[in-house]
């Protein structure tokens, strides 16, 4: 499945298949909050269909969009998954959206059974985080 390959480029095909067996599917309509800034989320998500916007509430309570929209194959929720803290942003459905949802406990159980899988899994998450940080840096760097 191309969405899983994009989200987890470091995993082997059979490992992505194992992840899909853990996934549940969830759908959202335009304007739905998929995750909400400040809430606790115990899931990791991959967009299967549709697009979503990442909004972060600033100090004056306005929503700011720092990164472009996410689409099929993009994963999100990785920061909260990794550090266990509340969501740092809100993700809003920009049209009809379907996501794969992975429970933290299920993923951790799979990671514990195979350290090689765990290394490749976390490397995939780190590549996503690095790409997003670089994109954000470009957007906030003064000219």
DSSP conformation letters of 15-68: HHHHHHHH-EEEEE-TT-EEE-TTS---EEEEEEES-EEEEEE-TTS-EE--S-
pLDDT at 62 over 70: no
For residues 68 and 143, what is the distance between their CA atoms, to the nearest angstrom? 19
pLDDT of residue 70: 93
For residues 43 and 66, what is the distance between their CA atoms, to the nearest angstrom? 22
pLDDT of residue 138: 65
pLDDT of residue 59: 64
SS3 call for 74 = coil
pLDDT of residue 132: 78
pLDDT of residue 57: 75
pLDDT of residue 66: 60
pLDDT at 93 over 90: yes
pLDDT at 115 over 80: yes
Q: Per mean pLDDT, which range of 2-11, 23-32, 58-67 is the poorest?
A: 58-67
Average pLDDT for 108-120? 94
Residues above pLDDT 70, as percent of the chain: 87
Domains in the chain: ranges and CATH: 2-134 (2.60.120.10)
pLDDT at 58 over 70: no
- The mean of the pLDDT values for the chain is 89
pLDDT of residue 112: 94
pLDDT at 137 over 70: no
pLDDT of residue 86: 95
């Amino acid at each position: 499945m191309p969405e899983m390959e994009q989200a987890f480029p470091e995993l082997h095909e059979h490992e992505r298949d194992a992840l899909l067996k853990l996934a549940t599917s969830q759908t959202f309509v335009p304007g739905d909050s998929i995750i909400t800034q400040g809430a606790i989320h115990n899931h990791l998500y991959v967009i299967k269909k549709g697009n979503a916007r990442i909004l972060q509430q600033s100090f004056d309570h306005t929503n700011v969009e720092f990164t472009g929209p996410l689409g099929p194959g993009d994963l999100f929720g990785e920061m909260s998954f990794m550090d266990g803290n509340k969501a740092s942003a809100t993700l809003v459905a920009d049209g009809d959206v379907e996501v794969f949802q992975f429970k933290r406990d299920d993923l951790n159980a799979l990671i514990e059974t195979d350290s090689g899988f765990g290394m490749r899994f976390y490397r995939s998450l780190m590549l996503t985080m690095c790409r997003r940080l670089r994109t954000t840096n470009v957007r906030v760097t003064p000219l």
